[in-house]
Amino acid sequence: MPKALPLDCQFVQFLLTRSDPFLVRYASLSQPQQWRRRVEEQQLPHWQELEFHDPEMLSQQIQQFVELTFGAGRLPMLRRRYATERHRQGKQTRSVELSNELVERLEKIKASQGLPSFTAAIEWLEAQTAVR
């Protein structure tokens, strides 16, 4: 059986992106927007700091938070949904084999155009080709 994904800030971000009906149903929240704002402003900054210093403590705090918010029995369901979401995201990215020369060209384009990634550099190249 695969190891469960860690309870970390990415997991909390996943919970924050759940729909209002989901949060009303599974967390019994009457005002999901206020809950999101409170978590983002008050708890998430503390957890982000803790993530670097003590990941084990972070995991315990997030587990307690989830159990208090959603109920102790909901944690396995939330973990499954999170794992499914991460799996879907992973399938959206493919690896490709590039020659060293091509990587160097993409690096130059990234640097000269101030682009954040190879994907952005390739999209920039496509746009340049379409203009011609």
Instruction: Read off the pLDDT of residues 73-84 as tens digits, 9 standing for 90 and up.
Output: 999 999 999 999
pLDDT of the residue at 93: 67
Domain ranges of the chain: 9-91, 100-131
- Token pair belonging to 109: 């384009």
pLDDT of the residue at 130: 77
Instruction: Read off the pLDDT of residues 115-126 as tens digits, 9 standing for 90 and up.
Output: 888 888 888 988
pLDDT of the residue at 25: 95
pLDDT of the residue at 132: 62
pLDDT of the residue at 2: 60
pTM for the whole structure: 0.66
How many other C-beta atoms are found inside a 10 Å radius of the C-beta of residue 40?
13
Q: Which residue stretches of the chain have pLDDT < 50?
A: none
**Secondary structure of residue 7 in the 3-state scheme:** coil
The rounded distance, in Å, linking the Cα atoms of 60 and 7 is 8
